[in-house]
Amino acid sequence: MLLVALGSCSNSLLTQNIGPVLPKKPNILWIVAEDLSPIIPPFGDLTVETPSLTKLSHEGVRYSNVFSTSGVCAPSRAAIATGMYQNRIGAHHMRTTSVIDEGPEGLMPYEALPPPYVKMHSQYFREAGYYATNNAKEDYQFQKPVTAWDDSSQKAHWRNKAPGQPFFSVFNLGITHESQVWRQQENPLLISNDLEVPVPPYLPNTETALRDVRQVYSNIVSMDREVGEILSQLEEDGLSDSTIVFFFSDHGGPLPRQKRMLYDSGLRLPMIIRFPDRWQAGLIDDQLISFVDFKSTALSLAGIRPPKYVDGRAFLGDFVQTPKRNYIHAASDRFDNQYDTIRAVRDSRFKYLRNYNLDQPYYLPLPYREQMAIMQELLILRERGELTEIQSQWFRNQKPLEELFDTYNDPYELHNLADDPEYREKLSELGTEMDDWLSDINDLGFIPEQVLIDSFWPKGEQPITEPPVYNVTGNDISLISATEGANIGYQIIDPGMELEASWQVYQEPIRLRSGQSIKALAHRIGYAPSEQVNFELD
């Protein structure tokens, strides 16, 4: 791990092995932007100003080698929530739960099916006494169990917690999403209409294209204001010195040849973590970090031992794991109605891609993406034969089996080194790592999707969680479901009282007072929730 102070050498590297000083149960706040590469000032892109994020970076640590497990949101969010690779648990296609309008004809919506012992990240926090909220995007490739959140809605906020209760809160900021490149066109830019903006060489430099690139940066300005509002609320509540703040995005950028791709433009993202004691403020940490590490790390920072089944590692906190990563892994599968199968392995410098559909073009025509003017511009220029050689690469009709890129000297990943004898050893190393990873996770991406669905939902019917059964000993009520891995949620009902909005997580026998009743249901991830069952103490 290399830690570098920007603009100053006053922060000694001697402190790099000393962890932050944390409260016993620190609050944890995740601020998640959508579709954002590290094109913000804290990571060297000075095109626009981001005062809120810049201040956060001065007070926190910037992590410069953070990667999603997919170039699109739902598979990546499944990996974050479970700590497992999406192609291990059947969450690799985009999407599983809403394919009627966007997916292949005849494909039914379904849910990914993790092993029965898997619980969402938020449930571990709830079981440890935290108030857990999500505002408001979910997109996990499965229906959240009722035990996942105290509140997952547009109104969800740590401010609704009990006094003194620690919180784990997630705020999802949609303004930088791909769709906002065209949906914000009717609104004035928040930057100069002729601002000089950087354009990657694989995109055109026409006025139409420049307008969309400027929109991306304008949306970043708007997103930064939203970050500032959330951090101001934290400050107003007197919680800044007891809260670990994460800022990151759900994958790389929104533009063509960025989102949905396994190039760094689709996988690499910015992350800043600010600790209550401002540990290593202003420094950069360049260790390799994957989305599958987030769950273990957040739990570790809260003093909660991460589960053993996860694919990730804790890189901070009480349960930090060594050695550090040598590789990150990623997968690309169906996007809407278009199938492809690509896998990626990356070390600190080299990216290895393995293509499995060699006669399929790189570019996949997706009606959703083609609403973007810059995408339309690319297609017009292709039709006219006016694309440059670099811009034409994405439209090649065939792919090689293997690709190898030196991301130091070729950051846009345009020059394939797979056939260069000088890199034969690196190609072999990363290819072997790929084989080991695919074998280890039993990659489900090589199973036809309908066959996968049939294995999850026999005869096309989703399994239903068995309802909880009540066992009564005196005033103590025990609950159990016959479905392995079922999470049980319950509510205690007092006479004349309104029902609570959220379900409590069942962990131990519940004691009822005379006149109280209880309702409960069970829900295993990937199954349908059980019917609700009620019990009243005589």
Whole-number pLDDT of residue 500: 72
Residue 136 has pLDDT above 60, yes or no: yes
Residue pLDDT, tens place only, 161-215: 999 999 999 999 999 999 999 999 999 999 999 999 999 999 999 999 999 999 9
CATH of domain 463-536: 2.60.40.10
Reply yes or no on whether 73 is catalytic.
Answer: yes
CB 66, CB 316: distance < 8 Å: no
Four-CA torsion 239, 159, 36, 123, nearest 10 degrees:
100
| Under 8 Å between Cβ of 276 and 26 | yes
Give the span between the Cα atoms of 177 and 200, in whole angstroms. 19
The pLDDT of 16-38, averaged and rounded, is 92
Boundaries of every domain in the chain: 463-536
Of the pLDDT bands very low, low, confident and very high (cuts 50, 70, 90), residue 11 is very low
Quick one: average pLDDT of 205-226?
98
pLDDT of residue 360: 92
Mean pLDDT, residues 508-523 taken together: 92
CA atoms within 13 A on the CB side of 512: 25
State pLDDT tens for residues 349-376: 999 999 999 999 999 999 999 999 999 9
Give the whole-number percent of the chain exceeding pLDDT 70: 96
The candidate with the shortest Cα–Cα distance to 22, out of 245, 243, 306, is: 243
CA angle 58, 218, 290 (to 5 degrees): 55
What's the pLDDT tens digit per position in 107-128? Answer: 999 999 999 999 999 999 999 9
Residue indicated by tokens 């205690």 = 492
Mean pLDDT of 423-436: 98
Please, where are the H alpha helices in 349-446? 373-384, 389-392, 424-441
Q: Is the pLDDT of residue 54 over 80?
A: yes
- pLDDT score of 2: 37
What DSSP line would sit under 471-537, residue for residue? EEETTEEEEE-SSTT-EEEEEEE-TTPPPPSSPEEP-S-EE--TT-EEEEEEE-TTSBPPPPEEEE-
Of the candidates 28, 32, 72, 73, the residue annotated as catalytic is 73
Percent of the chain with pLDDT strictly greater than 90: 91
* Across 87-101, 306-320, 384-398, 477-491, least confident range: 87-101
Q: Please tell me the total number of residues recorded for the chain in this structure.
A: 538
pLDDT in tens, 234-266: 999 999 999 999 999 999 999 999 999 999 999
| Res. 4: pLDDT tops 60 | no
* pLDDT at 536 (0 to 100): 83
